[in-house]
Amino acid sequence: MKKLQILGPGCPKCQELAKRTEEAAKAAGIEYELEKVTDLNQIMAFGVFMTPSLVVDGEVKVVGKVPSVEELKDVIA
C-alpha cells in the first residue's frame, strides 16, 4: 500500500492535487492511504517551501504545482 501525502494549507490548489492524486491512484489500481498534511512544521520537515506538494512513501515527488491525472499516475506508480 502506498502512502500518499498532500502537503499544503488546504488551499484550492491543495484540494485539487488531492482530488487528482486519488483519481490517478484509482485509475492505476494502486492501493493507497491519503493523508493531508497542513501543519507548517511537518511540511517544512520534508524540506518543502512551496505548496501544494505530493509525497509518495516518504519521498517528495511534486512541489508547487498540480500535475494532470496522467502525470500523477507515473509519479505514484
**Residues with a known catalytic role:** 11, 14
Is the bond preceding residue 52 a cis peptide, omega within 30 degrees?
A: yes
3-state SS assignment for residue 68: coil
How many whole angstroms separate alpha carbon 21 and alpha carbon 52? 12
The one-letter amino acid at 30:
I
